[in-house]
Structures are given as C-alpha cells and as structure tokens.
C-alpha cells in the first residue's frame, strides 16, 4: 500500500485533522521562515505531543545544523529528518553520526535527468522527488520513466490527482501539503480524501 505524508502542520487543528485521517507520516516545517507553515522547534514539540502514536512525525529542514536536528530526534519530536536544502553526502553522514537511528530523507528538485541521477545515488534512506519549495505544482512526471529507486512523490498532488499519480508511477509514497489546504490552512475534508485516495490502490 502506498504511504502518505501530510506535511506542513502548524496549528493544533492541523494535528487534530491528521489524527482523524491517520496518514502514515505528518510533517513539521521547522525554522524555515519562507514558509507560512514554519514552526519553531518548541512549537513542533508541542504539536508532536498531540499527534496520534500511529502517525510518524517528520521534521522538514532546509540546511539546518546537525545538532539542531539531533536534539529534535532525541527529544522525541521527530523520528525522520527530511532535508530540502543543499545537504550533501557529508552532511547526511554527519547527521547519522549525531543521531544514530534517525531515518534521513533527502528531497530533490526535479528539472532534468541529471537531478534524478543525483537522487538515485543519494545515501539517504529515502528520496523525495519534488517540484520545489511548496509551490503546489508538479514537475514533468515523464522524467521518472526509468527511475528505479523507491521514492516519495511530492509537488502538485491533491486528492483528485493522487489516483492518476499512483496508477502511472507507483511511488513508494506521496507527500501532500498545499493540496490539502483551503486558504493556506489545512482542510479536514481534503486530508481525509487524500488519505483515502492513497489507500485505494
């Protein structure tokens, strides 16, 4: 069954919606002011305490120091670090040393086959193939025709487009944020529909 992550929780209501829908993962964008969904480590921890135990918490970071990510892991705030910045293999290795047991996902902005080659070679536990920073638009999915590594698909996904994405691409998982929002706020009806769509496979 395809896994689904609902990303960008920043209000208690968002967590309540996720607890009702029960996706596999919930994402907190931590200390990235360019996003309206950004929260501080403290707020992320408070929200995580409200999260149902069956939903795995993911911290989403952009070029964050390894010690900051490790502290969030050891405090129980996150179980997975999803990296969206310029993190290289050395950064991933340093993070693993700082936080043994932490699962590391690395996001790649897909524009050309070369981007997928870098994703295929990544030392991360899982790769996220995305259009960009929460643009709500998808990249050219035809580029994935020969991509063999398990991946999470992100960018431009909504409850309506998830079925077609699963049928065409068979990703390991899907990552949805703006596609389950109304006026930049999480929408329970859309979250429920997205989770249902991902699990209809």
Q: What residues does each domain of the chain span? A: 3-198
Mean pLDDT in the chain? 95
Provide the pLDDT for residue 135: 59
For residues 124 and 82, give the distance between their C-alpha atoms in angstroms, rounded to a whole number.
10
pLDDT at 21 over 80: yes
**In which band, very low, low, confident or very high, does the pLDDT at 181 lie, cut at 50, 70 and 90?**
very high
Please return the burial class of 44, using the count of CB atoms within 10 Å of its CB with bins 0-12, 13-18 and 19+. buried
Query: Structure pTM?
Result: 0.96
Token representation of residue 118: 């870098």
What CATH architecture applies to the domain 3-198? Alpha-Beta Barrel (3.20)
pLDDT at 106 over 80: yes
Beta bridge partners of 58: 27, 80
DSSP string, 25-85: EEEEEBS-TTSTT-B-HHHHHHHHHHS-TTSEEEEEESS--HHHHHHHHHTTS-SEEEE-S
Q: In this predicted structure, which of 42-46, 84-88, 131-135 has the lowest mean pLDDT? A: 131-135
**In which band, very low, low, confident or very high, does the pLDDT at 133 lie, cut at 50, 70 and 90?**
low
For residues 199 and 194, give the distance between their C-alpha atoms in angstroms, rounded to a whole number.
9
């Amino acid at each position: 069954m395809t896994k689904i992550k609902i990303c960008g929780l920043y209000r208690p209501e968002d967590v309540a919606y996720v607890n009702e829908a029960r996706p596999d993962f919930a994402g907190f964008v931590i200390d990235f002011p360019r996003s309206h969904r950004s929260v501080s480590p403290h707020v992320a921890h408070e929200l995580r305490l409200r999260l149902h135990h069956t939903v795995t918490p993911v911290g989403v970071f952009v070029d964050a120091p390894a010690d900051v990510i490790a502290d969030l892991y050891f405090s129980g705030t996150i179980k997975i670090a999803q990296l969206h910045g310029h993190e290289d293999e050395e950064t991933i290795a340093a993070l693993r040393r700082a936080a043994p047991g932490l699962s590391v996902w690395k996001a790649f902005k897909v524009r050309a086959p070369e981007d997928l080659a870098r994703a295929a070679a990544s030392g991360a536990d899982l790769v996220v193939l995305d259009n960009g920073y929460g643009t709500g638009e998808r990249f050219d999915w035809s580029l994935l025709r020969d991509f063999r590594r398990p991946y999470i698909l992100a960018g431009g996904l909504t409850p309506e487009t998830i079925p077609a994405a699963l049928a065409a691409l068979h990703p390991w998982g899907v990552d949805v944020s703006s596609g389950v929002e109304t006026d930049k706020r999480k929408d329970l009806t859309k979250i429920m529909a997205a989770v249902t769509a991902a699990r209809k496979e």
